[in-house]
Amino acid sequence: MAFTNEQMERYSRHIILKEIGVKGQKKLLASKVLIIGAGGLGAPAALYLAAAGVGTIGIADADAVDLSNLQRQIIHSTADLGKPKVLSAQESMEAINPDVQVNTYQEFITSSNIMDLIRDYDFILDGTDNFPAKFLINDACVMAGKPFSHAGIIRFKGQLMTVIPGEGPCYRCVFKNPPPKDAVPTCRQAGVIGAMAGVIGCLQALEAIKYITGTGELLVGSLLTFDALTMEFHKIRLPKKDPDCAVCGEHPTITKLIDYEQAACDWKPGEKV
Amino acid sequence: MAEEIKVDDTVDITDVVCPVTFVKAKVALEELEDGQVLSIRMNDGEPVQNVPRSIKDEGHQILKLLDNQDGTYNLIVRKAGEE
Ligand SMILES: [Zn+2]
């Protein structure tokens, strides 16, 4: 594939970087990333991945754009209210970069559709806001051998880690099981700072770009936490892959995907996750 | 007469401006095999000041800079392998 003059200009700041270069940009253009959730994390991540020239971006989200989303979900605008989030996200990404092929999945991820969704993608980005989805994404990616970025945000705090199945601990090695469904507030109840969601979503996009181009060190075996109130980042070394992990251990007990029950106040009619 | 250098490919970067000048040269070098020679036609001024230096920083070998006497130069570069 030869670059057009326009592409050389569009991606010039990448190509100039020795660590990315011509080869790295070609890898990005040939890559496929699936973003699950077009919310506070997925919105900035999708914009940066589209701008970076990730050739195929899948976006999965069942919701429509709601006024309360716009404080942080910067891929959607006021004119998009009521529109399916995946369509609004697709329009924004295509407007930024016509090189990008956007695939939309207007559905909730469940144990019955997630394997089909992730199959064609090189890297998955978890931009969901609830534990059942996070464990489902982890287990599916481990079973399918797909690398992914986990992230979570609440109030002024965020965290992320990258999982490459077989190379380091998975999300379940570290967090074992979803907390009791009434024990955890979600950002709907607890609040969240939009710019902080942006910080974490951008870090997820960075991990995807580094994975695709083979640049630098990934957050495999580490959890990066960020506190926006104190402006402190902490990189916590995680224990090695747990041999007793229920999904990636030596004798996995989870061999079938689980749809955990979502906390009651987050339940919406027709929502399965 | 200087010794003849066999040029394997040429690229004209007089139609673009910084930083795409260097990018276009870098993309052209990418297409070559290690040890092959590229002739890069560039404008006087900023390109001739910066592009040779950037290419040298990438580890390639600058063989010659020829003044075309028309406000352009031809930079002759031998491609180096990756470190
Ligand atoms: Zn595990």
Q: Dump pLDDT digits (tens) for A183-192.
A: 777 666 789 9
User: What backbone phi and psi angles, to 5 degrees, belong to A190?
Assistant: -95, -20
Contact yes or no for A188/A144 (Cβ under 8 A): no
Task: Indicate the residue of B15, B22, B31 with minimum beta-carbon distance to A16.
Answer: B22
Give first-to-last CA distance, chain B, whole Å. Answer: 34
Question: What DSSP string describes B9-47?
Answer: EEEE-TTS-TTHHHHHHHHHHHTSPTT-EEEEEEETTHH
The mean of the pLDDT values for chain B is 92
φ, ψ for residue A222 (rounded to 5)? -135, 150
List all residues of chain A from 17 to 76 with a beta carbon under 8 Å from chain B. Answer: 18, 21-23
A33 and A56 Cβ atoms separated by less than 8 Å: yes
Q: For residue B46, how far is its CA from the centre of ligand 1 (angstroms)?
A: 54
**pLDDT at residue A261 in the model:** 83
Q: Do A16 and B26 touch (CB under 8 A)?
A: yes
Give residue A186's pLDDT. Answer: 67
Predicted complex ipTM: 0.83
Residues 6+ apart with CB under 8 A from A218: A162, A164, A207, A210, A211
CA distance B43 to chain A (A): 17
Residues from chain A that touch B50, judged by Cβ atoms under 8 A, are none
User: Which among A13, A18, A22 has CB closest to B27?
Assistant: A22
> Nearest residue of A to residue B24 by CA position?
A8
B30: chain A residues, CB-CB within 8 Å: 21-23
Domains located in chain A, CATH noted: 31-237 (3.40.50.720)
Mapped onto helix, strand or coil, the DSSP state of residue A164 is coil
Neighbours of A228 (CB within 10 A): 18
- Residue A133 has a CB neighbour count (10 Å cut-off) of 23
Task: Quickly state the pLDDT bin for B2 (edges 50, 70, 90).
Answer: low
- For chain A, the residue count is 273
Measure CB to CB from residue A8 to each of B23, B31, B58 and give the nearest one. Answer: B23
A123-176 pLDDT, tens digit per residue, is 999 999 999 999 999 999 999 999 999 999 999 999 999 999 999 999 999 999
Cβ pair A18:B58 closer than 8 A: yes
| A80 three-class SS | helix
Cβ pair A22:B16 closer than 8 A: no
The beta-carbon contacts of A91-94 under 8 Å, at least 24 apart in sequence, are A92/A46, A92/A47, A92/A50, A93/A46, A93/A47, A93/A50, A93/A57, A93/A59, A94/A50
For the structural domain made of B9-78, what CATH number should be given?
Answer: 3.30.110.40
Contact in structure between A26 and A42 (CB atoms under 8 Å): no
A46-84 residues labelled b (16+ CB within 10 A) or e (exposed): bbbbbebbbbbbbbbbbbbbeeebbebbbbbeeebeeeb
Tokens of B69: 């006497």
B19–chain A Cβ distance below 8 A for any pair: yes
Residues of A in contact with B26 (CB under 8 A): 15-16, 21-22
What pLDDT score was predicted for residue A5?
A: 87
Strand ranges, E, within A119-213: 123-126, 148-154, 157-163
CA–CA dist A30, A101 (Å, integer): 11
Confidence (pLDDT) at A190: 81
Q: Tell how far CA A184 is from the center of its chain.
A: 21
Residue ranges of chain A with per-residue pLDDT less than 50: 267-273
Of B1 and A151, the structure prediction assigns the larger pLDDT to: A151
pLDDT tens-digit map of B32-56: 999 999 999 999 999 999 999 999 9
